[in-house]
Chains A and B, each alone.
Chain A
Amino acid sequence: MTETITGSRLSLSTDGARNLATTTKSVPQMQGISSRWLLRLLPWVGVGGGVFRVNRRVVYSPGSGRVSFADEGDTLRVVPPSLGELPLLRGFDDEEVLTGLAQRFVQREYNAGDTLVEAGADADAIFIVAHGKVSKLGQGKYGDNTVLGVVADGEHLGDQVLGQSEGTWGATARADTAVTAMVLSRADFEEIVGRSEDLRAHVDELLSHAAIPKNAHGEASIDVAAGHSGEPDLPGTFVDYELSPREYELSVAQTVLRVHSRVADLYNEPMNQVEEQLRLTIEALRERQESEMLNNADFGLLHNVEHGQRIHTRSGPPTPDDLDQLLATVWKQPSFFLAHPKAIAAFGREASHRGVYPTSIDVSGNKVPAWRGVPIYPSNKIPVSDAGTTSILLIRAGEESGGVVGLQPTTLPDEYQPGLSVRFMNVNEKAIISYLVSAYYSVAPLVSDAIGVLENVELGRHHDED
């Protein structure tokens, strides 16, 4: 203690007192912990044998995916294996033939407002949109213009063109933005088909599926006679299943946690050092788990949305109209939206701009924003691209409703939490204790219309104050 010149202290200072007192300490804090709504909202199914098989009715109209492109300066090239995503080439994997096809694509540029194809004109080529948005326009009952749909990055116009010998375009396609399209004419396609026996056989087989009666979802139909009178022969039927159903193996997120034995042995009052190390490691693993369940290229939800369930924003920012449109894709009892917090803010801005104030709903004590009564949960794991675009997911959860379920192992040795085990590994020569921390998980949509996604959601577009 230092005596000051102005006068001697009359009592003990706080600095002195601290040396006798015990400081109250917080447990170690971590910024990376999020609310992890996806993990909390999904129903979890215990998988005993490490694999979950989703049996479905056989589907004869193969969904279509997206074709990818490689950028070479100003010219684009179709990535040959990704051509297998076109409905007519679905499952075809002869790389040589696909490369031949990919080389026949011609790149064309359009400005916003240009017409790609005209309704009624001869359809003799397939257009794959490499970049930009294209609207399909039709005519309403009384002759007004209507928008039938939007086609964007990697999607295509005119898959029926390649299979038929002739036909006309059913709808006009107009570029909404600057558009780069890759075009393959029917003549080129047929020339390649003529050269490859395999491709011919593949195309013929897929075309023969067109004749099989099926329902609106492409499932082989269950024949039913209805409203008949008299004694007609009744149709005989059976329900066919997919022969090679999709199987989901449990994925894993793992790490080895190391704690020095001197730390673990001695510095344990009032907090257990190993426990705190473990707690934070588990938080990091769970964060990673949520991220993988959304973004994993194999089973992640964002990569497993059917073609028909992907829609695009009309203008750019997420508007109430876009969310209404999204609700029409997962219309059978949707459970929740999942969006990046910035996308939720952008949506709120769009709602306010239209003078609409959607009421929040109460979910176990939390006020959650909602649209048409379906809660919108934030998740920072949904990626935002450099250009500021993101996606909004709409999910139906639950096993009975054919929705999305989370998968986790039923029991684990040394289970610490459901689906997570902490196993003591060893103490090495440096006296470091190692623990193996593993989380096992996967996620599966039981029926493909359980997820819908709104894509090309642009963030940061503000309305000027009038």
Chain B
Amino acid sequence: MTEPQTEPAPLSLGTAGARNLATTLKSVPQMQGISSRWLLRALPWVEVGGGTFRVNRRATYAAGSGRVSFTVAADSVQVVPPSLAELPLLRGFDDEDVLAGLAGRFRQREFAAGEELATAGAPANSMFLVAHGKVNRVGATKYGDQRVLGTVSEGEAIGQELLTGNGITAEETARAITRVIVLEVTRDDLQRVLSEAPELAAHVIVSQADQRAPRNRHGESEIDLSAGHDGEPDLPGTYADYELAPREYPLSVAQTVLRVHTRVADLFNEPMDQVEHQLRLTVEALRERQESELINNPDFGLLHNVDLKQRVHTRSGPPTPDDMDDLITRRRKTQYFFAHPRAIAAFGQECTRRGIYPEPVEHEGSVVPSWRGVPLLSCNKIPISDTGSTSILALRTGQENQGVIGLQPAKLPDEQQPGLSARFMGVTDKGILQYLVSAYYSVAALVPDAYGILENIELGRVD
């Protein structure tokens, strides 16, 4: 309707006046920060009675995360000496002086994309730690063509066997696929460090012997079997050895003190209960934080506890269908992918570029994108770095599948929701009601191959 040019005097009551007599319909307070929290919904929650969950596993000889850390000052990169103990052969070695001496031998070097750090068949004279960039390990196929064995990225080592004095010739080619910054230590320098510190040399020998102990391909000590035998040979005696110091997951906590003035809580309660809505929004914020912690906590968060073999790097940069296939093959029964919404968009674009339209699937009443029938769920808690790189998680869940499980307390006093309590603390001298709101949680992977990550996904790249 068009307004007339000059408003004549109103003949009847206007809406502004009428509004003062009418009751406005009010929405409950809305909050933008609430997300779908698919991870919390997807994880099966196991109740932990005693505050700690212990994951008993078969004894493993495989060494842990295997990532060295670096400090970057201006353009010079240096290795953090204690983190050298993350290398499988130095696992558990803790003489800081010796490690610092070893760290001091590393020299920084750069390679352009396409250059070779090591060449198969040529003498191997250096061990490298990759500080930045991606390096392909290249071997030969049966018929002599080149094939990519894997990708090595930040914090990983190339040519570790030099520590043992073996590896005179390189077995595989290492080729930089981006600009690469490495720290290099030569064979001579290594030998010098080893001869100066006999305890280091001894540690390497012990680690090497451990690595030779009979074990299956997951690094678990072997259960000896005999199969397909004829006649009456002696059968092997065996037992399944357990880890002596199994990992324990104490429940972590997210807490806050919610304050509501008594005057607000007493009087302004029609039609909505003020305390209830303060509590509702605080709980939403706690749950958001909980999901973020499950992914990012440096102690138990999924991104920081992934097994080295379960880390996959993108081949080119954006998340391609090929990368997702690589990620899927690393475990049986992948049930969910989790990715930042922008990573999902980037994956969709890569599919479209190849002329593929993966069928969306129905998941808990919502239609979500999928790959190979595995739903691709959005999670904005997975970080995107300043340079636009992010990760995609692939999970198998559930205790019976030996997957990833969420941990929550069995029973809480003043429990509001599973694993979350709101406890009345008291009224302060200022007449403010205080409630202690706590959420207890943790997350555990029962076996290392329960989940994996696709790393170094670059967003927004233009070719």
Contacts and interface: CB of A to CB of B under 8 A. Distances in A.
Nearest to B434: A236
A328 B347 CA distance: 11
A244 B26 CA distance: 13
B25 A225 contact: no
B387 interface: yes
B345 A327 contact: yes
B179 A143 contact: yes
B36 to A, nearest CB: 5
Interface size grouping (class) on chain A: 35 or more
Interface centre among B25, B178, B385 (most CB of A within 10 A): B25
Interface string A117-143: 000000000000000000000111111
A234 to B, nearest CB: 5
A56 B26 CA distance: 11
A7 to B, nearest CB: 67
Given A55-B26, A402-B30, A357 B19 contact: no
Interface string B432-446: 001010000000000
A50 B387 contact: no
B33 A356 contact: no
Interface stretch (A88-96, A189-197, A203-211, A443-451): A443-451
Contact of B461 (A145, A216, A446): A145
A447 B32 contact: yes
Contacts of B277: 239
Contacts of B29: 55-57, 239, 241
Interface stretch (B3-11, B219-227, B285-293, B302-310): B285-293
A213 interface: no
Given A226-B252, A321-B349, A448 B32 contact: yes
Contact of A55 (B27, B179, B436): B27
B36 A333 contact: yes
A367 interface: no
Given A141-B456, A327-B345, A373-B367, A51 B25 contact: yes
A239 B31 CA distance: 10
Interface stretch (A41-49, A71-79, A273-281): A41-49
Given A52-B25, A324-B349, A446-B30, A359 B256 contact: no
A227 B299 contact: yes
Nearest to A319: B352
A47 B29 CA distance: 17
A215 interface: yes
A235 B356 CA distance: 50
B461 A144 contact: yes
Contacts of A370: 360
Contacts, number: 231
B459 A359 contact: no
B458 A373 contact: no
B357 interface: yes
B15 interface: yes
A328 B31 contact: no
Contacts of B297: 227
Interface in B319-357: 341-342, 344-346, 348-349, 351-353, 355-357
A328 B281 CA distance: 24
B259 A236 contact: yes
Contact of B356 (A52, A236, A356, A374): A356
B369 interface: yes
B462 A145 contact: yes
A249 interface: yes
Contacts of B19: 49-51, 249
Interface string A314-336: 00000111001101100111000
A198 B46 CA distance: 59
A148 B388 contact: yes
Contact of B18 (A50, A357, A446): A50
Given A49-B22, A148-B460, A55 B30 contact: yes
A463 to B, nearest CB: 15
Q: Which 4 residue pairs spanning A and B have beta carbons closest together?
A: A373-B360, A355-B355, A373-B367, A49-B22
19 contacts: A45-B25, A48-B22, A53-B24, A55-B27, A59-B32, A145-B462, A146-B458, A226-B254, A227-B252, A227-B297, A236-B257, A236-B434, A241-B29, A333-B366, A354-B352, A357-B357, A373-B367, A402-B32, A448-B32
Interface of A: 45-57, 59, 138-148, 215-217, 219, 221-228, 234-239, 241, 247, 249, 253-254, 319-321, 324-325, 327-328, 331-333, 351, 354-359, 361, 370, 372-374, 399, 402, 446-449
